[in-house]
Structure 1
Amino acid sequence: MLFKELNLSVPLQKALKDAGYEAATPIQEAAITLLLEGKDLLGCAQTGTGKTAAFALPIIEALAMKTGQGPKRPIKALVLAPTRELAIQIADSFKLYSKYLKLKTAVIFGGVSQNPQTAELGQGVDILVATPGRLLDLINQRFVRLGEVDHFVLDEADMMLDMGMIHDVRKVITHLPKVRQTMFFSATMPPEIAKLAESILVKPVKVEITPVASTVDTIQQSMYFVNKKNKTELLKHLLKNLSIESCLVFSRTKHGADKIVKALEKGGISAQAIHGNKSQGARQLALKNFKERKTRILVATDIAARGIDVEELSHVIIHDLPEVPETYVHRIGRTGRAGLGGVAISFCGQEDQNLLRDIEKLIQKKIPVVSEHPFPMVPEALEDKPVSNSAAFGNKPSRQGEGKRTENTRQPKSQGKSWGKSPAKGSRKIG
């Protein structure tokens, strides 16, 4: 469906045309009309599907008819996001779409001085995008009042749960009017998130776009078996030998991300890290350099990566397999955006093989194994012994059982879904 076929006002259509938007994505087509009717929405969509526009455009359309002026204008729309980067990205989208309207959007987040943010709030705001912690601080200081909010968006709810923000989110909700339109987005649906959605939505419509299997089918995936101590050496080897235009590398921890960057730079490969321990300025600079291709390699944790929106990212490399299988899909979804092709490379050590089984069960396919590389995985008892060339490139341990690249096309009987419960840590079974 084309945007001009949707029931959007002329100023919005003009802004979309300026931005090069022509055809609506599936989630936009499914959600916009329903939200224009004022319905609550429970949404699930993989990264790169146009989710922000799906909720931003109906909100802007609704507010364009009833906006106030000056410092007396109350906040009419609130969007909660888990990270600073994502909050900034969402606010920028609202500003882009509403540029021909007299709507004012502000963004607030922690880690920086609140003074510029409170000054902007004092000038009057129609749309507020915020992280939960800073928003609560400003509510308690009476810089923010939410009593006239008509539209509330909770974005990336599952990530907020992972980051320990759900208690703050519940507190924010107590400051909202009971009569409002609510939009709830979560990539996964663990019990606590399902309970929260049920408590704040009223007769919602459910929109689920792009099942896991179809998302991963557009991406060329491969798995390298490598001992933990050799993962970064293998990473350096691949970055030097493969044709990689831009690469997002995933680390499980902040400390690990810094170690990877240090090792890459020592090997003559320019890279930057982005994670929660970095200052806001450092994170924004690293992201800006990556988007502008001044930095080819960006190393990130899952939480920091939620705010990364980069078109035509050629490669994703997963240095550490995630403990929750759905996270694997979100990681590789950073490449192959909105149906485009991409390459996702993962490293698997001996300690990661149960995680790999969970991932393959979810995506319903075996990930092809690349056996021919300089750092083949050897049993722990043999790690300190020399490995011959024949062992490195021939009869070495391989999950596929052969010393060459193979693909197992067997399909598991069970079908994984991104809406299913995420296994709790330590609850995985072998086999």
Structure 2
Amino acid sequence: MTFQDLKLSEPILKALAEEGYTKPTPIQEQAIPIVLDKKDLLGCAQTGTGKTAAFAIPILEHLHTQEASKGYRHIKALILTPTRELAAQIDDSFTAYGKYTGLKHDVIFGGVSQHTQTLSLRNGTDILIATPGRLLDLMNQGYVHIAHLEFFVLDEADRMLDMGFINDIKKIIRELPEERQTLFFSATMPPTIAKLADSLLTDPLKVEITPVSTTAEKIKQGVLMVSRNDKPALLEYLLNLGNITRTLVFARTKHGADKIAKQLTKAGIKAEALHGDKSQQSRLSALHNFKTGRLRVLVATDIVARGIDVDNLAYVINYDLPEMPETYVHRIGRTGRADKSGIALSFCSREERENLRLINKVTNQNIPLVKDHPFHQEVAAGSAKSGGGGNRGPRPHGNGGNKPDFKNKRRPQSGGGNRRSGNGQHAAHAPRQQGAE
């Protein structure tokens, strides 16, 4: 199937062609006809599957084919999403797909002055993308009215609940007109999310693309056993191989992200941290620099684990393993997006081996173990069930697929004394993955 087969109007097809879109992803192929047919939709799809286009394209199609509003533009579509970064990204998607439709869209979120946002809303808008807190605030002040709403999208619903937005969401839902089309998207579907979906949707059609808590097959994964003290040196070592280019590094805490970014910068590797304590301008600047290639390494907390799309991001490194195993799926889903492949490497210290066990259990896999690096820490028998009995794992490589050359690579000094490598050899081949015994 192509986008032409979906019978979309010429302005939208032209915009999609300019974006390089030819064939819809599975969720787009299934969801777009449902939305075009004005049915409620319950979408359960793994991150990176193209959910934004799955709802943005048919909403633009519906609104574009309606008679154009004269004078004040009433909000016809509301997209509610959990984070500022995701809201800004969805806004960018509407800009890309709707550039020839003449429709107006705005984005509102907290952390910045509301002045610019309220000025933009003065003459109304067709489509509003919002985070819950700022939306409620501007509704209470009389800047936002949703009585004419036709489309309501709740995106990343499980993340909304994780972040404590349930009460805000319920307040917003009470203000929605009864006659509307609702699109509900969530990566997971626990009972609380299913109950919320039941209260919002009317005879919905369900689209489920991948099983809950599975990792994309095109992402090559590996785990590197390393002592906590050697993690900084291992990260620097990998980045200094030269073939690992733009990389997203996940840290557990805000302080940890700042510390890692400072250490990398001191080592001559351009890096910035992104987390919730940063100003909105700083967060947007760091993300923009990373997306445009001006920044080689972005060190982030789980604020960017969901929904953030960076074109051609080949590498994700989990400096710290997440405490919630489901978060691992979302983190590594930042790479291997669309039809691209990706590599996800995870550092695991002795203290994190239980986290690794849970990740393997929830994702129903054994992440291959990478032993061929200078800081390998041996694993006692049975202490960490990870690996596939000698499976070859991900090999950091550049665009040409070259293996990294370990010859003449000076080992970074960790200050931790002598360390044994996994097998004492670091010749000109990539890190080898073996099953942990």
Which TM-score bucket, shorter chain as reference?
Answer: 0.7 to 0.9
Partner of 1:303: 303
- Listed one character per residue, the Cα deviations across residues 238-266 of structure 1 (whole Å, up to 9, x for unaligned) are 11125111100011121111111011112
1:283: how far off?
1.1
State whether residues 81 and 154 of structure 1, in contact with CA within 8 Å, keep that contact through their aligned partners in structure 2.
Answer: yes
Q: How does 1:382-401 map to 2 (within 5 A)?
A: 391-394=420-423
State whether residues 9 and 61 of structure 2, in contact with CA within 8 Å, keep that contact through their aligned partners in structure 1.
Answer: yes
Aligned structure 1 segments of 4 or more residues deviating by more than 4 angstroms = 212-215, 385-389
Cα 1:230–1:330, aligned 2, differ >3 Å: closer, same or farther? same
Partner of 2:434: 406
Letter in 2 for 1:228: R
Whole-angstrom CA distance in 1 between matches of 2:31 and 2:252 = 34
Partner of 2:395: none
Cα 1:83–1:264, aligned 2, differ >3 Å: closer, same or farther? same
State whether residues 250 and 317 of structure 1, in contact with CA within 8 Å, keep that contact through their aligned partners in structure 2.
Answer: yes
Whole-angstrom CA distance in 2 between matches of 1:192 and 1:37 = 28
Secondary structure in 1 matching 2:268: coil
What is the RMSD of the two structures over their aligned residues, measured on CA atoms? 2.4
State whether residues 159 and 303 of structure 1, in contact with CA within 8 Å, keep that contact through their aligned partners in structure 2.
Answer: no
Whole-angstrom CA distance in 2 between matches of 1:111 and 1:213 = 31
Whole-angstrom CA distance in 2 between matches of 1:121 and 1:37 = 29
Letter in 1 for 2:371: S
Deviates more, 1:271-280 or 1:69-78: 69-78
Structure with the bigger percentage of helix: 1
Whole-angstrom CA distance in 1 between matches of 2:14 and 2:379 = 61
Letter in 2 for 1:136: L
Cα 1:326–1:386, aligned 2, differ >3 Å: closer, same or farther? closer
State the aligned residue count: 397
Whole-angstrom CA distance in 2 between matches of 1:275 and 1:197 = 30
1:205: how far off?
1.1
Please list every run of 5 or more consecutive structure 1 residues that lacks an aligned counterpart in the other structure: 396-402, 410-431
State whether residues 214 and 364 of structure 2, in contact with CA within 8 Å, keep that contact through their aligned partners in structure 1.
Answer: no
Partner of 1:424: none
Partner of 2:148: 148
**Is the counterpart of residue 333 in structure 1 residue 302 in structure 2?**
no
Whole-angstrom CA distance in 2 between matches of 1:15 and 1:387 = 57
TM-score of the superposition, structure 1-length normalised? Answer: 0.86
State whether residues 46 and 187 of structure 2, in contact with CA within 8 Å, keep that contact through their aligned partners in structure 1.
Answer: yes
1:177: how far off?
0.7
Partner of 1:22: 22
Whole-angstrom CA distance in 1 between matches of 2:432 and 2:103 = 59
Please list every run of 5 or more consecutive structure 2 residues that lacks an aligned counterpart in the other structure: 381-414, 425-430
TM-score of the superposition, structure 2-length normalised? Answer: 0.85
Q: How does 1:141-290 map to 2 (within 5 A)?
A: 141-211=141-211, 215-241=215-241, 243-290=243-290
Partner of 1:398: none
Whole-angstrom CA distance in 1 between matches of 2:213 and 2:254 = 30
1:215: how far off?
4.2
Among all aligned residue pairs of Structure 1 and Structure 2, give the percentage whose two residues are the same amino acid.
56
**Is the counterpart of residue 132 in structure 1 residue 132 in structure 2?**
yes
Secondary structure in 1 matching 2:112: coil
Partner of 1:123: 123
Partner of 2:63: 63
State whether residues 60 and 98 of structure 2, in contact with CA within 8 Å, keep that contact through their aligned partners in structure 1.
Answer: yes
Whole-angstrom CA distance in 2 between matches of 1:200 and 1:296 = 42
- Listed one character per residue, the Cα deviations across residues 316-340 of structure 1 (whole Å, up to 9, x for unaligned) are 0001111222211111111111242
